[in-house]
């Protein structure tokens, strides 16, 4: 049984913890899109690990982690992470494979990301400045450089020509402080020495592993509403974090994805620009940010916070075919006298129960809330659904109804064991 775990909101849903929790049941964990814009925070034994590019499964001895062709790889970021893991006692030797078809993020991509944001001014996306968008632009523009291209060591072969053309294009665009293509080539040659042992045909590897009966977890980054096709375009990232991305980003057929788990917070957050219908710009929003420590794992930016948006999660259920939800950060709502769920949007005289595609329309939407009593007793660390305060149980039951998906896993704190896996849920079967 292979499982795809992805974000059902605007990213930062706590996928890292859920992937980490499920990993003992999956000998292979595979990332299929995004790059080091992601920040997956995992706490184990009181230690904090922040992973950006390497699947969170790496924290479990013996698990093989794959970086698929759909991911964009900054070799410097990759090895910074490898070194950080090593310093924490985690060895990746023989456990991390990178697709030869993954595209590289090069120094000019980072520069072009920052320049493009500056050019957009007030209309900026609020990117992570990691070069993600420009790297995917080069991929789709058919001028990108792939990991496997580094194997071409000839001084004037196709690899050197491609770098040269790209750096010259960058120099024409930027105009000042010329970048030297030979420096970029030299740097990549150095990186290749470390990268080469990790490079593989990941599609072949994963398909052979599945044929041999190994279970795979497909790990999505960012979230459904940040997906390049299904998100709040143009305020999105440049890849498909939705379930379909698992197939294109790893080279597996759709039948390889047996189940899809959507990770969602018990409220809503977003980092970066773009509409967020339930955003709270008041003391309640501030309280969610403080209690939930809602600051970006990659950039440290404060996240925008608001109540749970069931319209958005219903939409995520539809475009991903969600089987279940993993509901995270329930404990952040402890102590609120009342909690709210957005069940529809009001847009002028219209009531919308489905996410509009038109961004201007979404930006004009006002949430329609249902208000429920909160709970006083802490949920922090609770491991059985029945042990939750009644208010929390009722809140979850209502979330499930309005989202149209059962909450199979509930996270009640940052540690691995601060988790409820509901006995009667599909997740219980996945963990057998």
Which amino acids are annotated catalytic? 12, 40
> Per CB under 6 A, does 14 bind ligand IMP?
no
> Per CB under 6 A, does 292 bind ligand IMP?
no
Select the residue interacting with ligand IMP from 5, 11, 242, 292 (CB under 6 A): 11
CB of 371 to ligand IMP, least distance (A): 28
> Per CB under 6 A, does 237 bind ligand IMP?
yes
Span near ligand IMP by CB under 6 A; candidates 82-90, 103-111, 230-238, 420-428: 230-238
Question: Angle, nearest 10°, between helix axes 107-120 and 132-140?
Answer: 110
CA 58 remoteness from chain centre? 16
CB of 114 to ligand IMP, least distance (A): 11
> Per CB under 6 A, does 135 bind ligand IMP?
no
Give CA separation, 247 vs 187, 223, 332, 430, in Å: 32, 16, 34, 20
> Per CB under 6 A, does 127 bind ligand IMP?
yes
Residues 239, 71: Cα–Cα separation, whole Å: 8
Nearer to ligand IMP, 10 or 159 (CB): 10
> Per CB under 6 A, does 222 bind ligand IMP?
yes
Q: Which of 60, 54, 112, 57 is nearest to 80 (CA)?
A: 54
Residue 251 is given by DSSP the state T
Strand partners, 62: none
Span near ligand IMP by CB under 6 A; candidates 80-88, 119-127, 171-179, 285-293: 119-127
Nearer to ligand IMP, 203 or 224 (CB): 224
Residues 373, 392: Cα–Cα separation, whole Å: 9
According to CB under 6 A, which residues from 38 to 57 bind ligand IMP?
38-39
Query: What H or E segment, with its residue span, contains residue 262?
Result: strand 259-265
Q: In this structure, what token pair is assigned to residue 207?
A: 């398909």
CB of 125 to ligand IMP, least distance (A): 5
Select the residue interacting with ligand IMP from 226, 243, 250, 402 (CB under 6 A): 226
Select the residue interacting with ligand IMP from 2, 23, 69, 128 (CB under 6 A): 128
Span near ligand IMP by CB under 6 A; candidates 54-62, 80-88, 129-137, 364-372: 129-137
> Per CB under 6 A, does 262 bind ligand IMP?
no
CA 239 remoteness from chain centre? 10
Q: What are phi and psi of 103, to 5 degrees?
A: -85, 150
Question: Beta-carbon neighbour count of residue 6 at 10 Å?
Answer: 29
Decide if 30 contacts 202 (C-beta within 8 A).
yes
Enumerate residues 6+ apart whose C-beta is below 8 A from 232.
Answer: 10, 225, 226, 274, 275, 359, 362
Span near ligand IMP by CB under 6 A; candidates 25-33, 221-229, 286-294, 380-388: 221-229
Q: Which residues bind ligand IMP (CB under 6 A)?
A: 11-12, 37-39, 125-128, 130, 132-133, 221-222, 226, 235, 237-238, 271-272
């Amino acid at each position: 049984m292979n499982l795809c775990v992805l974000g059902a909101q605007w990213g930062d849903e706590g996928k890292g913890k859920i992937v980490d929790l499920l990993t003992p049941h999956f000998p292979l964990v595979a990332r299929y899109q995004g790059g080091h814009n992601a920040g997956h925070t995992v706490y184990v034994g009181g230690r904090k690990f922040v992973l950006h590019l390497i699947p969170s499964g790496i924290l479990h001895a013996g698990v093989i982690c794959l970086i698929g062709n759909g991911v964009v790889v900054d070799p410097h970021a990759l090895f910074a992470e490898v070194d950080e893991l090593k310093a924490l006692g985690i060895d990746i030797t023989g456990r991390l494979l990178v697709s030869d078809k993954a595209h590289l993020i090069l120094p000019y991509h980072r520069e072009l990301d920052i320049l493009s944001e500056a050019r957009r001014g007030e209309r900026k996306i609020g990117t992570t400045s990691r070069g993600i968008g420009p790297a995917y632009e080069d991929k789709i523009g058919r001028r990108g450089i792939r990991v496997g291209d580094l194997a071409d060591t000839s001084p004037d072969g196709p690899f050197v020509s491609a770098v040269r053309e790209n750096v010259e294009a960058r120099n024409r665009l930027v105009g000042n402080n010329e970048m030297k293509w030979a420096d970029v080539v030299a740097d990549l040659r150095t990186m290749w020495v470390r990268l080469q042992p990790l490079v593989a045909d990941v599609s072949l590897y994963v398909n052979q592993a599945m044929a041999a009966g190994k279970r795979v977890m497909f790990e999505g980054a960012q979230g459904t509403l940040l997906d390049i096709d299904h998100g709040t375009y143009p305020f999105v990232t440049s890849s498909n974090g939705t379930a379909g991305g698992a197939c294109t980003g790893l080279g597996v057929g759709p039948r390889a994805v047996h189940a899809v788990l959507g990770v969602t917070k018990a409220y809503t957050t977003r980092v970066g620009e773009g509409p967020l219908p339930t955003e709270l710009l008041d003391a309640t929003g501030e309280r969610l940010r403080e209690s939930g420590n809602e600051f970006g794992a990659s950039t440290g930016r404060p996240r925008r916070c608001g109540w749970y948006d069931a319209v958005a999660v219903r939409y995520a259920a539809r475009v991903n075919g969600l089987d279940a939800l993993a509901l995270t950060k329930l404990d952040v709502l402890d102590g609120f006298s009342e909690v709210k769920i957005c069940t529809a949007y009001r847009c002028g005289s219209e009531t919308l129960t489905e996410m509009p595609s038109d961004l201007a329309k979404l930006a004009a939407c006002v949430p329609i809330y249902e208000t429920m009593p909160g709970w006083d007793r802490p949920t922090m660390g609770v491991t059985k659904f029945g042990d939750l305060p009644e208010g929390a149980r009722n809140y979850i039951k209502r979330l499930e109804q309005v989202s149209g998906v059962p909450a199979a896993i509930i996270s009640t704190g940052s540690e691995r064991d601060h988790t409820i896996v509901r006995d009667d849920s599909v997740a219980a079967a996945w963990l057998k």
